[in-house]
Amino acid sequence: MLEGNRVSPISVRGFAVASATAVTAVGSVVGVASGSVAQPNDAEATAAGTTLLADIPAGEQAQVQTASLTQQADTQAIAADASAKKVAEESARKAAAKSAIEKKEAAEKAAKEAKERAEAKEKASRSSSSFPVQSSYTVAQIQSMAASMVPSGQFQCFSNIVDHESSWNYRAVNASSGAYGLFQALPGSKMSSVGSDWQTNPATQIKWGLNYMDSRYGSPCEAWSFWQANHWY
């Protein structure tokens, strides 16, 4: 009951309850109109729990955008590092394979050269006196002598030079220069450094010719390469 301008506590509480009921009713009506069923105090909860980007201060928006860009950059950097690592690993694998092949080839070449040196040393130890002295020799006999004295890997080159110089005639003489023998030594007497029978013994000439090719060119094949380019050696 009103007493002047005073309101009793009971009336105040009743007014508060009525107001809350009215707000809830309005919220329910709005919820029904929008197609959703609102529970008591839904409007208040929604309004209190929703934060729009526009509600975030500009400085904080910049921080959010910066964080997003930083994350993207980190992701791209990780992908780039992985790609670079893969490329580096592939390059290393190829380099290792190439190195292994080169080492294998070098080892095979060294073994071949060692074998040829051993063979050459063994054959070089044979002197012209290792062959019986004859009054004359056939081409086949001379070639057999050469094959027993020249390393097998060098024999074809050695033979090519003799073919062009004398056709395996150990008594061949150049009418104009006086060059003599299988290798057309000039003068022929220089072959006496390995035997006094250089004029009549093809084995002596072969030994001299092999020594000459090895000392001047490194091998019969190197001498043959020079001959092909210059037509003399």
Give the whole-angstrom CA distance, residue 126 versus residue 195.
13
Tell me, what's the pLDDT at 164?
A: 96
Tell me which of 130 and 145 has the higher pLDDT. 145
pLDDT per residue over 40-91, tens digit each? 555 454 445 555 555 666 667 677 777 788 888 888 889 888 888 888 888 8
What is the mean predicted confidence (pLDDT) over 158-175? 97
| Other CB atoms within 10 A of residue 206 CB | 28
What is the mean predicted confidence (pLDDT) over 23-39? 44
Tell me which of 126 and 208 has the higher pLDDT. 208
Q: What is the mean pLDDT of the chain?
A: 78
Tell me which of 187 and 44 has the higher pLDDT. 187
Query: How distant, in Å, are the alpha carbons of 93, 96, 100, 170, 215 from that of 104?
Result: 17, 12, 6, 43, 29
* Cβ–Cβ under 8 Å, residues 153 and 141: no
C-alpha atoms less than 13 angstroms from C-alpha of 4 in its C-beta half-sphere: 1
Q: What is the pTM of this model?
A: 0.50
pLDDT per residue over 116-138, tens digit each? 666 665 665 555 557 888 999 99
Give the whole-angstrom CA distance, residue 199 versus residue 192.
9
Tell me the Cα Rg of the chain. 54
Confidence of residue 95 (pLDDT cuts 50, 70, 90): confident
Tell me, what's the pLDDT at 119?
A: 65
Residue 98: pLDDT above 50?
yes
Residues 6+ away with beta carbon under 8 Å from 193: 208
Tell me which of 192 and 9 has the higher pLDDT. 192
3-state secondary structure of 3: strand
Domain ranges of the chain: 9-49, 126-230
Pick one of 1.10.1060, 1.20.1630, 1.10.530, 1.10.10 as the CATH number of 126-230. 1.10.530
Confidence of residue 97 (pLDDT cuts 50, 70, 90): confident
Tell me, what's the pLDDT at 31?
A: 45
